[in-house]
Structure 1
Amino acid sequence: MAEIEPKAPTTQVGTETTSFTDEIPRPRGWMYKRIGVGKYNLGWYASPKFQLGMVAFVCFMCPGMFNALSGLGGGGKADAKLADDMNTALYSTFAVVGFFAGTFVNRLGVRAALSFGGIGYCLYAISLLVSVHKYVPGFNIFAGALLGVCAGLLWAAQGTIMMSYPPEQSKGRYFSWFWGIFNVGACIGSLIPLGENIHVKTNSTVGDGTYIAFIVLMFFGACLGLFICDADKIIRDDGSKVILMKSPSWSTEIYGLWETIKAEPFIVLLFPMFWSSNWFYTYQQNGINGAYFDTRTKALNGFLYWFAQIVAAVIIGPLLDSNRVRRSVRAKIAFGVLFTLTMVIWGGGYAWQKHYTRADVSQDAVDAGTFTPWDWTTKGYLGPMFLYFFYGMYDAVWQGVVYWFMGALGNSGRRLANLAGFYKGLQSAGAAVMWSLDSKKTPFMNELASNWGILSGSLIIALPIVFMRIKDTVPLEDDLVGTGETIEDVLPAEAIAEKRAAGEI
């Protein structure tokens, strides 16, 4: 039996009109009772908005804290070698699992994927704490590899929710909300080592308390994942459901990987953007923050980096959804902005990198007294501080535009889960290569050049899909192909009648 919401006025939220009380049939039960009223309406528990918020807080606690820890350079350790090896193992397994993670998410559901995914982050932080007191490289490498498996599932589930749950006109805002909340976690996580090491003006390993705080928060995030709804229970504001595969099996989902590319073969032109989207973390975290600054300043820089991501996400999300410009035109504008930022920000990075080499800031140079890690009180600190801040903004813009490009190609939860898996798999493969190169002491200037070149080249390769394949809307019939579902399965009867009257179906 469905529950009918009584009629009442609508409320304006930004440029999007959301009806809180139109006659929307929903199943009975606590999952579909409204939470909040008026402008404080949060939807219902099994609504896209509420579920995205929960997923954002899972990522707040797990990947957010991981990012704060990694942002210190070397996983908070003075010597980055162990963290480089752990991250090489992490992103190697992430690349393999991530590519197929959409299949697992479609088969197992987003709740199982998220709750299992959070466990790996706890073990990773535990292994770093253990390494401070005992040399156990085997355990550390295992923890890194396991996190790759867990993170692959978690991020594929997150991508599915963020791209397939919202209506077409709100995908940029959903990214903005998620990315903002997620990076608040990284900001708060950066304040933990800042508070613990506020008086430490040397480049040293963070204290035990820092690692313990991260472990506790990551474990809480893993537990929160158990309370996420699976996609088949989600009801949108207009009464529609998420498009899924009817009665999925392992064979249909594995075949679905091929179907995703077959349905949109141009998607391979986005693969270089996927590959390069985490390539720059290694250089930024180890080559700049970890190499050049003392412990407390690394923590401050990390906070500013992740705060910049929040600022950028809040700006770019609404702009990507602006209804003043057609979506196909917005895609071209977003591409132009991203290319300009790549030239300007990485050009600034080149100007900074000319000042030092890896040998200039090595531990030998510190021991010899020829280099002292910079503190926030050091004259000239503001220049690299702002550069690092803009690197953080660039990351959010890049990730946001890539997610928006993918979301603009369709609305099917099944296909977008596979796209999210492709994205995280290729992203992680690129990161694994870069962490491996850094562990071999690749010159910092070479690392910067590889970042600038790969980012610029991947944008050029993506030109055809941006200019030719992103349309103003994707017909519902296209999203249903190959899923076994019909329009009646995903739209309420009132919406179907309206579409038929308008000649849309």
Structure 2
Amino acid sequence: MADEKAAPAAELTSPVSPVAAPVEPAPRPEGWMYKGVKIGKKEVWFASPIVQLIMVAFVCFLCPGMFNALTGLGGGGQVDATAQNDANTALYSTFAVVGFFSGTLANMLGVKATLAFGGLGYSVYAASFLSYNHNQNHGFVVFAGAFLGICAGLLWTAQGAIMMSYPPEDKKGRYISYFWVIFNLGAVIGSLVPLGQNINATGSSTVTDGTYIGFLVLMVLGALLSLTLCNADSIRRSDGSKVILMKNPSWKTELVGLFQTITQSPWIVLLFPMFFASNVFYTYQTNDMNAAHFNTRTRALNNTLYWLSQILGSLAFGYALDFKGLRRSIRAKASFAALFCLTFVIWGGGWAWQVKQVPREITEDKNSGYQTVDWSMGGELYIGPMFLYMFYGFFDAAWQTCIYWYMGALSNSGRKAANLTGFYKGIQSAGAAVFWRLDGLKTPFNTMFGATWGLLGAALVIAAPVIWLRIKDTVSLEEDLKFSDETVEDVAPTAVTMDKVTKEETV
């Protein structure tokens, strides 16, 4: 265990000269001192960015991961999607409002408390659909959606701040991919539950009570797991540096910080259309494609393949964004070009499929005789749409991974990351609320598709100047500290602070 005080440089004398020769400080593999507190090896390991990120990923595995599995069934597992449309409109409307201020709340309360409260809303949402199976209580489902909007705004802001500010600059892409893999593995496993329970159901029906109970239990476990996390001021990277925060945050300083996020970097608003578009495609994909045209067991299979494809997409883009052979500014431009191509290739293929489908009026008319597709039909009826749905999942992961990486490349400050994530999730939720409402108003499928695709393309064009001109190869410590009241000595790597201590003691 390291000594509680940095050892002064040893004095070495020789017969020739009595002058003391400074010696480099010994490495400290067991830990280090921080403000008079001994940090041991065990604590350093637990408070490391990678361990904390994995823990947050498992919280999201159990909460939003299960929510995604439930949503991906289309209609929340119900034959009629009305209840889910109304619940999700309420969810994303409250999420949009809370999201703008959730960065301030996360900075004040700490990530542990923010995540724990955020996880509660997911279990209430699952419970509302369990109730709906028995009493058709539409009001409870809508209330659960609105409550989840408040909770999710807090959870995702805390998660985003952790994912963007904890890792070192050269590992942000892969850390984002690690999170996305574990998070989406939750959706994969969650979607296997209804797939197993409905594997012999060749018609369209509501999922069973067991499905909702399974989601409910897992979501409660996720909320409890978040209580074991460290707060951001305890995090130590491998070089001894810490996350940049405010030493003594208050409501006033955090509200000012929220304002400064925009005023100090006004060009950040060019990313807002990408934020707005980042969840709108779920409405078309889950309700207007999966729920409308496939039976229950096939919807469950599509859902599983969708989230598996998200894992592949996040790994591919996460590692590519950290590729050391190219400077970070070049990687940003290359990722933008890749996103642009994927947007027009995948969604162009989607349009070719969509225009051949029957309109909403026929799929929602129980007397129309419209037969939903079962996987046993194979061929053109199922294999093509199956791969299209997988590509949609891959695209979603690519889009989300790039947005988080772009924001992380603009700042390493935990305080600023929380505010940026709050803006991101708030604007994202506003977009989702609009599109869930459009679906609730029975907007034609072709219109829903065209609006989604057009918004994605326009968002990329508007964001291009930020990605092309504002993402640099590195962000200096001094630049990040402009958004904090901490000093270089508070947050710098151990080698820097130890070197300063050694020089002072030698003098």
TM-score, structure 2 as length reference:
0.91
1:329 equivalenced with 2:334 (yes/no): no
Aligned AA (2:376): T
Post-superposition Cα deviations, 1:397-420, rounded to whole Å, max 9, x if no partner, equal 000000000000010000010000
Q: Aligned with 1:454: secondary structure?
A: helix
Q: Does the aligned pair in 1 maintain the 2:119–2:152 contact within 8 Å?
A: yes
How far 1:337 sits from its partner (Å)? 0.3
Contact map agreement 1:32 1:45 (CA 8 A) in 2: no
Aligned residue for 1:376? Answer: 375
Conservation of the 8 A alpha-carbon contact between 1:163 and 1:407: yes
| Per-residue deviation, 1:313 | 1.1
Between the two proteins, the alignment pairs up a number of residues equal to 477
Partner residue, 1:283: 284
Rounded Cα–Cα distance in structure 1 between residues aligned with 2:272 and 2:240: 34
Q: Which residue of 2 aligns with 1:191?
A: 192
Deviation for aligned residue 1:482: 3.6
Q: CA deviation at 1:499?
A: 9.7
Instruction: Please give the residue correspondences for 1:216-255 in structure 2 after superposition, counting only pairs within 5 Å.
Output: 216-255=217-256
RMSD, aligned CA? 2.1
CA–CA distance in structure 1, aligned partners of residues 113 and 303 of structure 2 = 31
CA offsets 1:59-86 (integer angstroms, 9 cap, x no match): 0000000000000000000000010000
How far did residue 319 of structure 1 move?
Answer: 0.8
Whether contact under 8 Å (2:240, 2:494) holds in the other structure is no
8 A Cα contact 1:24 1:237, kept in partner: no
The CA distance in 2 between the partners of 1:186 and 1:257, in whole Å, is 32
Deviations 1:166-185 (A, max 9, x none): 00000001101000000000
| Structure 1 residues 469-484: aligned runs within 5 Å | 469-484=470-485
1:95·1:425 contact (CA, 8 Å) conserved in 2? Answer: yes
Partner of 2:367: 367
Q: Show the 5 A alignment for 1:13-52.
A: 25=32, 32-34=40-42, 44-52=45-53
Distance 1:350 1:395, change over 3 A: same
Contact 1:272/1:461, CA 8 A, preserved across alignment: yes
Give distance in 1, aligned partners of 2:28 and 2:308.
Answer: 36
| Residue of structure 2 equivalent to 1:15 | none
What one-letter code is carried by the residue in structure 1 that aligns with 2:41? K
Inter-CA distance 285–484: structure 2 relative to 1 (3 Å threshold):
same
TM-score (norm 1): 0.91
Structure 1 residue 135 displacement after superposition: 2.6
Per-residue deviation, 1:362: 1.8
Contact preservation (8 Å) 1:32, 1:46? no
In structure 2, C-alpha distance between the alignment counterparts of 1:282 and 1:100, rounded to whole Å:
25
Which digits, 9 at most, give the CA deviation of each residue in 1:97-131, with x for residues without a partner?
01111000000000001000000000000001101
Q: Per the alignment, in what secondary structure is the counterpart of residue 99 of structure 2?
A: helix
CA–CA separation in structure 2 for the residues paired with 1:307 and 1:54? 20
Map of 2:443 onto structure 1: 442
Given that 2:120 and 2:223 are in contact with CA atoms closer than 8 Å, whether structure 1 keeps it comes out as yes
Higher radius of gyration, 1 or 2: 2
Do the aligned residues in 2 keep the contact of 1:203 with 1:294 (CA within 8 Å)?
yes
State the distance in 2 between where 1:30 and 1:395 align.
44
SS of residue matched to 1:78: coil
User: How far 1:31 moved relative to its partner?
Assistant: 7.9
Q: Residues 494 and 23 from structure 1, CA distance in 2 versus in 1: closer, same or farther, beyond 3 angstroms?
A: farther
Counterpart for residue 397 of structure 1: 398
Judge conservation of contact 1:111–1:225 (CA < 8 Å) in 2. yes
Residue type at the aligned position of 1:252: T
**TM-aligned CA distance change 1:31 to 1:449, over 3 Å:** farther
Within a 5 Å distance, the mapping from 1:101-500 to structure 2 comes to 101-359=102-360, 361-364=362-365, 366-369=366-369, 371-379=370-378, 380=380, 381-492=382-493, 494-496=495-497
Pair 31,278 (structure 1): closer, same or farther in 2 beyond 3 Å: farther
